[in-house]
Amino acid sequence: MIASSDIINARILIVDDQDAAVLLLRRMLRGAGYVFIESTTNPHEVCELHRKHRYDLILLDLQMPGMDGYEVMRGLKELELGGYLPVLVITAQPDHKLRALEAGARDFISKPFDLAEVLARVHNMLEVRLLYVEMERTVREVEASRELIRRQGDEVKLLYDAIVEEQKRSLELSIQPGAMVGIEVEKEERLATPLARSPKLRYPWGQLLTSVRQFLSPHPPSDR
């Protein structure tokens, strides 16, 4: 669930070649409590700004000289490899809306601005965007956990195989005539690996279970 504070503190970029439109949108958003608002009247700066700040929402005018909103969206798509373009287009032309949505915009607001419409669409867009970001983060965490479990499974198997080999060696030593009657035990202990010392020869499977339990038990955090 997205908290209201997350929405209010989301990163917003306003892109419009008209200073008056930028100022009006800034005042609307500031009045609604939004904290992080940046703007530019130069569409050529948008991709670099987004690369640097990773905005949660870009309010983008479609009709700008030199580089229109469609070209800006094409550049933004190269940065948003996941396919979710956080763009709310600004247009005074109703017939541009469908083309903008097909180009990757998520929603639109019309000129002249209506305060209630602007705030409602901005809020809804930010909520969806932040949910998308949260979902992506959760997927990455699940994938990382799955990889960790796989690696731990491999390590447990290796440990198990190593202990089984040690126990085989222990059993071989325990059934030798010298070991049965207590002759040359010291020699046999020198030949055995650390896991196969004479006290452990009498309890081979107990040592196996103890080692596996110790490996699987959570380790207490170290003091730093």
> Where in the chain are all domains bearing CATH 3.40.50.2300?
4-136
Query: In angstroms, how far apart are the furthest CA atoms of the chain?
Result: 101
For the packed helices 115-174 and 204-216, what is the interaxial angle rounded to 10 degrees? 160
Beta-carbon-side half-sphere exposure of residue 30 (alpha carbons within 13 Å): 10
pLDDT at 202 (0 to 100): 45
* Average pLDDT score, the chain: 79
Fold of 4-136: Rossmann fold (3.40.50)
In the predicted model, residues of the chain with pLDDT beneath 50 are 179-185, 187-205, 224
CA gyration radius, the chain: 33
The model's pTM is 0.64
pLDDT at 222 (0 to 100): 54
Phi first, then psi: give them for residue 175, nearest 5 degrees.
Answer: -95, 0
182/173 Cα distance (integer angstroms)? 12
Residue 181: exposed, middle, or buried by beta-carbon count in 10 A (0-12, 13-18, 19+)? Answer: exposed
Provide the 8-state DSSP code for 95. G
